[in-house]
Amino acid sequence: MTPQFRDPTRCRARALLLGERLDLRSFPIADCLSTTPLTLHAGPGGGIAVLFRYGVVVLFGTEVDEEAAFLERLRPLVTNPYAQPETDGLEVRCGTSTGVQGGVVSVDSLALENLQVIADALSKSLVLSLYENRIQGEFDRIEPLSRELAQRGSIGGGSQRLLSKIGALMLIEHRMVGRAEIGDKPETLWEHPRLGSLYASLEDEYELHERQSAIERKLRVISETAHTLAEILDKRQLHRMEWYVIGLIAMEILINLLEFTGVLHR
């Protein structure tokens, strides 16, 4: 199936990461073009929208007013919407060869399956951009703690914030692997294996594998650092409690001695 765009030889793809997830179960799919991934008409001008449950919508061939109207329809379905959505886009053109160059992807036709493969790569690139920014922020927060440990041999503050960081990092990894399925091939390739070369070109263009590996390495480094700092704080608190116990025992002994000598009467 080929959507009826205004220009049958080209269209503009625009991807938006709207929030943590899209509740696609609540979306009316009576007029959908496809369910894997969910693909719908996005306006009277022939544009289409490809929706992903991890919060991304990719629009093809829509005008500004059509995009605004469609996003308004999606608003009730967005969980924890982002104040400033991540966006990306590229030009899709019909050509004699398939590939990506200079922000333009060439395909043999604007068939629906071609656009779905493009949408899959664009959506994953947006999710990676979001996680790259978040992880860099965690790097910036943990670095001063590591520097303090190297210079003073100890760190201040409580372990609660470190445990919070560890939990946030585990959540990022869960969303990246479990929800967005960054490392998986799009389901469209199962029905259209000939599109494997197109997806491989998009993977290379957006460096999906390399960026995912880099994120996973940073997650390990941050997680190991946070665990180490948390263990140091726990040991410090344990030592403090040991001294409290020693102090209480010493006080009890002193009181008993004073009572025994008659200096202190109950």
CATH of residue 74? 3.30.310
Residues 146 and 63 in one domain: no
Per the structure, how many domains does the chain have?
Answer: 2
Rg (CA), the chain: 28
Residues 173 and 220 in one domain: yes
Domain membership of residue 254 as a residue range: 126-261
Is pLDDT at 149 greater than 80 in this prediction?
no
Residue 154 is encoded by which pair of tokens? 């100890």
Residues 133 and 158 in one domain: yes
- Long-range residue pairs from 83-88, CB within 8 A, at least 24 positions apart, any chain: 85/16, 85/17, 85/18, 85/19, 86/16, 86/17, 86/126, 86/129, 86/130, 87/14, 87/15, 87/16, 87/17, 87/126, 88/14, 88/15, 88/122, 88/125, 88/126, 88/129
**Residue located via tokens 């990461």:** 17
User: Of 6-10, 16-20, 245-249, where does mean pLDDT reach its minimum?
Assistant: 245-249
Provide the percentage of residues in the chain whose pLDDT is more than 70.
66
Nearest to 54 by CA among 87, 81, 78, 20: 20
From 81, 109, 137, the end of a domain falls on 109
Domain annotation covers residue 159 = yes
Residues 253 and 170 in one domain: yes
Q: Distance from CA of residue 27 to its chain's centroid? A: 23
**pLDDT tens digits along 96-130:** 778 888 889 999 999 999 999 999 999 999 988 88
Q: What per-residue confidence (pLDDT) applies to 68?
A: 92
Residues 156 and 243 in one domain: yes
From 80, 109, 138, the end of a domain falls on 109
Q: Distance from CA of residue 68 to its chain's centroid? A: 24
Residues 32 and 72 in one domain: yes
Q: What per-residue confidence (pLDDT) applies to 7?
A: 82
Domain annotation covers residue 120 = no
Residues 62 and 138 in one domain: no
Residues 25 and 58 in one domain: yes
Residues 144 and 233 in one domain: yes
Domain annotation covers residue 115 = no
Residues 44 and 138 in one domain: no
Domain annotation covers residue 170 = yes
Residue 162 is encoded by which pair of tokens? 């470190």
Residues 147 and 96 in one domain: no
**pLDDT tens digits along 211-263:** 888 888 877 776 776 667 667 666 666 656 666 667 677 676 666 666 666 65
Residues 136 and 255 in one domain: yes
